[in-house]
């Protein structure tokens, strides 16, 4: 219902005279009804700067190292992105900082550190001749995770559990470490700046076709340890090739049906051959001469 421009609601009577009647000021609404339900979008809060006692990292103090190397990957077929498989095992990079620069390991709480991954040639120290969208797919950036290592000590890790390769061949992964400097944020439109703190290369791995893919290996102990701490990783309980192999039983653990099949081959009381009943016995009548019955039969 649209109200006229100069309309003002004036109540006639009120139940209590202690409260003055409310007055409603006229509002000039536009013709579009969607404006009535439009709400003001709150502004995005700016990223707070680092504390004054935070340690500023440098390229000389950061030591990134690949903790879990990739071994094999299934090439992602165009048009079948739903069936893609990540690199096996998932690459994990650990960040270590010089103890003289950060003795209290404050970098483990730094939310402005991140790492990106790119595809490089396997035999040369140069990137592939493709754009990032043409050679890799998945989550190509990882933030810093503070996790318990296998020795029950805290550490900083970058985990890439969802990376697939689009082109076949032998390649390496290059991991580049960055840090954002939020202290330079002056306006909401200012994206600030970032600094490259180092990089590292993985070992060479093969990207094969589906016919040459051996299957995913059993998840490593490191992957299981991080998954138990909340990191989203695809775990596999059985090793590659185990699904095609039958479980080996001992003589006492073998199923009864299998033992009967083996016993029938050895000629025991069990048999898997169909039962064929023996033929019915033939009844024959033997006649013998008895002179007692011959008297009743009369002369022959």
CB-CB neighbours of 95 under 10 Å: 26
Residue ranges making up the domain that contains 162: 62-228
End-to-end Cα distance, the chain = 132
Helix (H, G, I), strand (E, B) or coil at 283: coil
Contact 117, 87 (CB under 8 A): no
Residue whose C-alpha is closest to residue 91's, from 71, 69, 74: 69
Strand-pairing partners, residue 157, are: 94, 145
Q: In tens digits, what is the pLDDT along the chain, a chain of 300 residues? A: 555 555 454 545 544 445 555 555 555 555 544 444 444 444 444 455 555 556 778 889 999 999 999 999 999 888 777 888 899 899 999 999 998 888 888 999 999 999 999 999 998 889 998 888 889 999 999 999 999 999 999 999 999 999 999 999 999 999 999 998 875 555 666 666 889 999 999 999 999 998 888 887 888 999 999 999 989 888 877 555 544 454 554 444 444 445 445 555 455 455 556 667 777 777 665 555 555 555 555 555
CATH code for position 179: 2.60.40.3960
Residues making up the chain, counted from first to last: 300
Q: Is 162 contained in some domain? A: yes
Q: Is 86 contained in some domain? A: yes
Q: Is 296 contained in some domain? A: no
Whole-model pTM?
A: 0.61
For 38, 176, 231, the CA distances from 222, given in Å and listed in that order, are 50, 22, 11
Provide the token pair at 10.
């004036």
CA pair distance 243, 217, nearest whole angstrom: 12
Q: Is 257 contained in some domain? A: no
Q: Is 277 contained in some domain? A: no
Q: Is 133 contained in some domain? A: yes
Q: Is 118 contained in some domain? A: yes
% of the chain with per-residue pLDDT over 70: 60
Query: Based on C-alpha coordinates, what's the Rg of the chain?
Result: 41
**Residues sharing a CB contact under 8 Å with residue 167, sequence separation 6 or more, in sequence order:** 75, 128, 130, 134, 135, 207
Q: Is 236 contained in some domain? A: no
| Count of domains for the chain | 1
CA pair distance 191, 126, nearest whole angstrom: 29
């Amino acid at each position: 219902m649209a109200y006229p421009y100069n309309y003002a609601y004036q109540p006639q009577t009120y139940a209590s005279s202690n409260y003055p009647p409310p007055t409603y000021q006229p509002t000039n609404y536009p013709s579009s009804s969607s404006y009535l339900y439009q709400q003001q979008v709150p502004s995005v809060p700016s990223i707070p700067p680092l504390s004054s006692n935070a340690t500023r990292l440098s390229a000389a103090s950061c030591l990134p190292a690949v903790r879990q190397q990739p071994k094999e990957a299934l090439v992602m077929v165009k048009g079948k992105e739903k069936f893609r498989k990540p690199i096996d095992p998932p690459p994990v990079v650990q960040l270590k900082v010089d103890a003289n620069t950060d003795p209290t390991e404050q970098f483990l709480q730094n939310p402005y550190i991140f790492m990106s991954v790119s595809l490089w040639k396997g035999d040369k120290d140069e990137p592939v001749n493709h754009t990032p969208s043409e050679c890799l797919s998945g989550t190509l950036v990882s933030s810093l995770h503070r996790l318990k290592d296998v020795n029950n000590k805290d550490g900083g890790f970058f985990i890439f559990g969802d990376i697939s390769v689009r082109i076949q061949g032998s390649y390496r992964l290059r991991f580049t470490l960055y840090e954002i400097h939020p202290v330079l944020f002056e306006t909401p439109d200012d994206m600030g700046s970032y600094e490259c703190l180092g990089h590292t290369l993985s070992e060479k791995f093969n990207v094969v076709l589906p016919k040459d893919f051996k299957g995913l290996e059993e998840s490593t102990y490191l992957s299981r340890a991080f998954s138990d701490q909340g990191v989203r990783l695809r775990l596999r309980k059985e090793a590659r090739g185990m699904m095609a192999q039958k479980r080996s039983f001992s003589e006492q653990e073998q199923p009864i049906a299998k033992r009967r099949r083996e016993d029938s081959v050895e000629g025991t009381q069990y048999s898997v051959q169909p039962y064929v009943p023996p033929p019915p016995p033939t009844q024959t009548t033997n006649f013998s001469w008895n002179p007692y019955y011959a008297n009743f039969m009369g002369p022959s």
